[in-house]
Structure 1
């Protein structure tokens, strides 16, 4: 029988396995992943990883492997304008350092992050089973039995669902969600440009939604481009000339001519918050527990925070001789994470509704608010620490760069 079985072999699932196994090597931990072996190597996307999450990856021994492919964000620039505006005034800027020489975030290719986490799993002896998914489970007094798509079953003391925002295991557990759609889609693409970005990230608030330019290594940037769903579908299926012309209108010309690298995809956007993160011998983590708008770049980082809290809960319970799958133990994890997740979900929802419109009085009010924050260094410093995940006192040790 396993001690912990994780369903979902993405960043959150792999991180959860590494965090627990590294701190408690005697625990039997396994990961199952529905996708076939090697699919992750085809992921062309990149993700923003905040300072607190990079500290955790460093504890895992994965950060040094990731670092050569990571681009630090030296500065963040925020504008509020229309697509047709010839000039986009800057209302707010953030310096990227939370400490001297330590940026609040890095942009990391997803392939590099998954490779480093898989290598960490291999070093710790964690088995990753590919091509199988959970089809149902039964929870008993001492274990949960998960039925798999290949006809086999697995017994575990704790089942952790990291299987995405449309989590099947969450539905099987009977956990309800609060959710709605935004009629927006996020277009994700990588572009090459003539001039260097100097590590500057930009977020342009446009009437259709935020347009984020996030620096990658070399003269490349990652885009998260929010459009109304119908327009997003039209753009991703248009030819390269049309797409790049529309892109240049939003991106601007300061980095010179643009060229799209690889494919472009659109993902529907919405808000999903689970009403509970735990049940007897069952826990949710990552997008299975919460899916938020990318306006803040915090989606993946919320998942990493889940990992740090869940791992510390499980490991400390085990050291005390407690049942790691009991609801009493798991309630500590839920109390640690639910409020932060709800707060971030509400914040991103409000920001998206506030900035994704062209209503005159609202535009004046929000630009006034941005201007006030720009003129208050103390408030700016607080926001940057919040974004970096370094403001919380008494949080999980992994996020402070400390072993459990």
Structure 2
């Protein structure tokens, strides 16, 4: 138990958003705030994330810099310096490029921040900086775990089985039978959150008839920091640059990329059911030959895709975070960035309450968090759902219309900067951590 008069926050779930929130709160408040992360998966450390990689937008990078973990993961972070979008059928001999995004992201980010009085971090933006980095999950989680432990966050490898809110505290029962109380419980326990269900918070969503296949590919030629998004009738096939390394065979070092391959769910067993050579051949049909010979370094693994959003992001002394609050299609690579924005927003709401001597688990504090996050989450979810439906079809009229639209965006710098700013988390009123400011 926390000492008398000490506030206590418990985060159920040791994913990246949950760990980031715990670290931000503990660094901001020190001994005045007790912070505990509970998750049975803590027993295996970061190993459960092996083989996964995320696109961390500029706002997330600034947050990790402020939390002191970015320098630790920098060697495992590959900048995305430009992105190329194509739209074709699988059998097409040529994949025409309809849209490109280059390092103008940084100029947009800098000018947007400089123009806003509340973006005091504008002076930190450097022209030419990438709008995102590809970061492998395992080193990022390792860095967050180490920083949490160093800051004094309690890391407990048990789950929260049930929660019973009261007027001044929420009573928790752990999976090992222990009971305790907290000022605020944060449910960061995934899309099938038991704590969300236990609080009676509804969920609106649907499954896509698609699966997301992820793998790490070694290849012969350097990627140059370029990301590719090939829109195919069954769904997008993304090639995302990773840091160099790996082995192309015979001890020959190579270059590496992560692929996120959306495919019709009904076709996945046949596509991945063969031996390694057959699987690699299917990947190569989509990957192309521009980066030379390829090898399969890790994976593939397939995951069902869905959209979902909680009807509320809060209940009595309970806040939802990350996948417990929202799940979106990976077509824009923004799932983790939404979770980080939620962590930054909740950390800010809790911190502002504590500094005013208020109860950080009070309804008005949690309503402020919900107001800050719900509209953007709905907008991003609608955008990714619409993009997936638009591009996952081979109907000729639709293809002609979308290719015309991509070409127009490519020729209109202002509209292109709008898309880049969204991807870089550089637009609108951002939580302080995403602007690189202290809580």
For normalisation by structure 2, the TM-score amounts to 0.90
1:403 aligns with 2:438: yes
Q: Secondary structure at the match of 1:37?
A: helix
- Partner of residue 205, structure 2: 179
CA offset digits 1:213-245 (Å, max 9, x no partner): 000011100010000112123323321111111
1:20 to 15, 22, 25: 25
Give yes or no for contact 2:217–2:259 (8 Å, CA) kept in 1.
Answer: yes
- Partner of residue 175, structure 2: 149
CA offset digits 1:325-365 (Å, max 9, x no partner): 01111100000000000000011011000000101111111
Distance 2:316 2:383 in 1: 30
**Pairwise CA distance, 1:262:** 2.2
Distance 2:272 2:38 in 1: 32
**Pairwise CA distance, 1:36:** 4.8
Task: Kindly report structure 1 stretches of 4+ aligned residues shifted beyond 6 Å.
Answer: none
1:94 to 95, 101, 125: 101
Q: Secondary structure at the match of 2:207?
A: strand
Q: Cα gap change, 1:36/1:113 in structure 2, threshold over 3 Å: closer, same or farther?
A: closer
Q: Which runs of 5+ in 1 are unaligned?
A: none
**Pairwise CA distance, 1:21:** 1.0
1:209 aligns with 2:235: yes
1:4 to 4, 9, 20: 9
Give yes or no for contact 1:98–1:104 (8 Å, CA) kept in 2.
Answer: yes
**Pairwise CA distance, 1:38:** 2.4
Q: Secondary structure at the match of 1:122?
A: helix
1:313 aligns with 2:349: yes
Aligned pairs, number:
402
Distance 2:281 2:337 in 1: 32
Q: Secondary structure at the match of 1:4?
A: strand
1:40 aligns with 2:14: no
- Partner of residue 215, structure 2: 189
Distance 2:413 2:64 in 1: 30
1:5-404 alignment runs, 5 A limit: 5-25=10-30, 26-42=32-48, 43-96=50-103, 97-99=105-107, 100-130=127-157, 132-218=158-244, 219-392=255-428, 394-404=429-439
Distance 1:194 1:201 in 2: 16
CA offset digits 1:79-121 (Å, max 9, x no partner): 0100000000000000034241311000001011101111110
Distance 1:236 1:267 in 2: 12
Give yes or no for contact 1:233–1:266 (8 Å, CA) kept in 2.
Answer: no
For normalisation by structure 1, the TM-score amounts to 0.98
Give yes or no for contact 2:45–2:142 (8 Å, CA) kept in 1.
Answer: no
**Pairwise CA distance, 1:133:** 1.5
Distance 2:34 2:83 in 1: 43
**Pairwise CA distance, 1:78:** 0.4
CA offset digits 1:30-65 (Å, max 9, x no partner): 000122522522511111100000000000000000
Distance 1:38 1:56 in 2: 26
Distance 1:45 1:12 in 2: 15
Q: Secondary structure at the match of 1:395?
A: coil
CA root-mean-square deviation: 1.0
